[in-house]
Structure 1
Amino acid sequence: MDPEDERAWKQAVEQNRERKERYFRENQRSPIPPELRGADFPGLDYYEVDSDYRYELELERYDDPETVTVETTADGEQTYRRVGQFRFEVDGNEVSLDAFEPTDGSDRLWVPFRDATSGDETYGAGRYIDLEPEENKIGDDTWVLDLNRAYNPTCAYNPAYECPLVPSSNWLDVPIEAGERDFPADIYGDH
Structure 2
Amino acid sequence: MSTTEDWIDEIETQRRQKDRYFGEDPRSPIPDEERAAFDGLNYYSVDRTYRFEVELDVYDEPEPVVVGTSTDGEQEYFAWGEFTVEIDGQPVTITAYKGDPEEDRLWVPFRDETSGEETYGAGRYIDLEPAHHRTDEGRWILDFNAAYNPTCAYSDRYECPLPPTENWLDVAIEAGEKEFGH
Greater mean alpha carbon deviation, residues 109-118 or residues 72-81: 72-81
1:113-167 deviation per Cα after TM superposition (whole angstroms, max 9, x unaligned): 0000000000000000000011001146410000000000000000110000000
Q: Give the CA RMSD over aligned residues.
A: 1.4
Q: Which amino acid letter does the alignment assign opposite residue 65 of structure 2? A: V
Q: Deviations over 1:161-186 (max 9, x none)?
A: 000000000000110000000001xx
Structure 1 residues without counterparts, runs of 5 or longer: none
Identity of aligned residues (%): 55
How many pairs are equivalent? 182
The residue number in structure 2 matching 1:174 is 171
Counterpart for residue 5 of structure 2: 7
Alignment equivalent of 2:64, drawn from 57, 64, 67: 67
- The residue identity in structure 1 corresponding to 2:115 is S
Given that 2:67 and 2:164 are in contact with CA atoms closer than 8 Å, whether structure 1 keeps it comes out as yes
| Contact in 1 for aligned 2:78/2:101 (Cα 8 Å) | no
Q: Distance in 2 between matches of 1:141 and 1:168?
A: 28
- Name which of 7, 22, 25 aligns with 2:23: 25
Question: AA paired with 1:16?
Answer: Q
The within-5 A match list for 1:14-93 is 14-38=12-36, 40-93=37-90
Q: Tell whether the 8 Å contact from 1:36 to 1:42 is kept in structure 2 after alignment.
A: no
Moved over 3 A (4+): none
Report the TM-score when normalising by structure 2.
0.96
8 Å contact kept, 1:13–1:149:
yes
Q: Which runs of 5+ in 2 are unaligned?
A: none
Q: Deviations over 1:35-58 (max 9, x none)?
A: 1113x1142000000111100000
1:118 to 2:115 alignment: yes
TM-score (norm 1): 0.92
Aligned-pair CA distance for 1:83: 0.8
Aligned partner of residue 45 in structure 1, secondary structure: coil
Tell whether 2:140 aligns with 1:135.
Answer: no
1:144 pairs, out of 133, 141, 144, with 141
